[in-house]
Amino acid sequence: MISQEIESLPVVYDSVTLRNNSKYKSVALSYLYRQHPMMGGGMFEWIVGARWLQFKERFDVDAIGGILDETHIMTWADNEIIGPEVGLRWFRRSNRWTLSVQGSFVAGTNLQAVRQKGIVGTALGNAQQSQPQYFLPLAMRAQSNDDVEHMTEFSPVVDLKIELKWQATRALAFNVGWNGMWMDNIARPTGMVNYELGETYVLGILADKNEQDVFLNGLRAGIEFNR
């Protein structure tokens, strides 16, 4: 009788490709109250309402070569945030120019859904297809998983906007600005993949890693037409 020692093996791939894709959407329903002009010429507007935000990410891992041959992992994370919003906007006009600064806060409830599909070791159990320089994990066969996790978190959102507008004519205006947004307790798939392989499990979702923060910002430019 020939006995074989079973031991942990390092996982080495010839090449690994990582892809991450993010999408963001937002819809707000607000009531705006404008105060009387200040002595310096500026004006304040109060904003009260509700806001819905959607932040989605997909993270793909494609690894080829090595003792596990091909491994493919796809993980999706959906964040649906909804809650009341309060905000304040200040603006001042000078001839054709208007400068405005707006900030708002959303006390959001985040309904999270994370799904993962993956396959590990597509050629395991078929030694003829594996490269001879690698030692085969004889106690393991190709494995796949399809998991889903649902969580609920409190996700505060802070939004800031700065805009400068030039009124070219009565009906035409040009504007440039900067937008910045911070969201907390967001599920992001890049940090929620369990890469460990065990006797009773393969891969998996780290559901307790769903409280990451996100900061989005960028410059924008636009044209306004008023009839």
At 197 the pLDDT is 75
Average pLDDT for 85-95: 93
Tell me the per-residue pLDDT of 1-29, one tens digit each, with 9 for 90 and over. 555 555 666 677 889 999 999 999 999 99
The larger pLDDT score, comparing residue 209 to residue 120, is at 209
Q: Which of 159, 208, 155 is nearest to 185 (CA)?
A: 155
pTM for the model: 0.81
Q: Is the dihedral of CA 87, 29, 84, 22 positive or negative?
A: negative
pLDDT at 129 over 50: no
Query: Tokens 């649906």 sit at which residue?
Result: 80
Q: Are 108 and 83 in contact (CB under 8 A)?
A: yes
Q: Encoding tokens for residue 165?
A: 């507008």
At 123 the pLDDT is 67
At 141 the pLDDT is 60
Tell me the per-residue pLDDT of 154-189, one tens digit each, with 9 for 90 and over. 999 999 999 999 999 888 999 999 999 999 999 999
What is the phi-psi region of residue 162: left when phi exceeds 0, alpha when psi lies from -120 to 50, beta otherwise?
A: beta
Q: Are 187 and 152 in contact (CB under 8 A)?
A: no
Contacts of 5 (CB under 8 A, 6+ apart): none
In the chain, what percentage of residues exceed pLDDT 70?
Answer: 85
Question: Cα–Cα distance between 117 and 75 in angstroms, integer?
Answer: 6
Paired residues of 53 in beta bridges: 26, 81
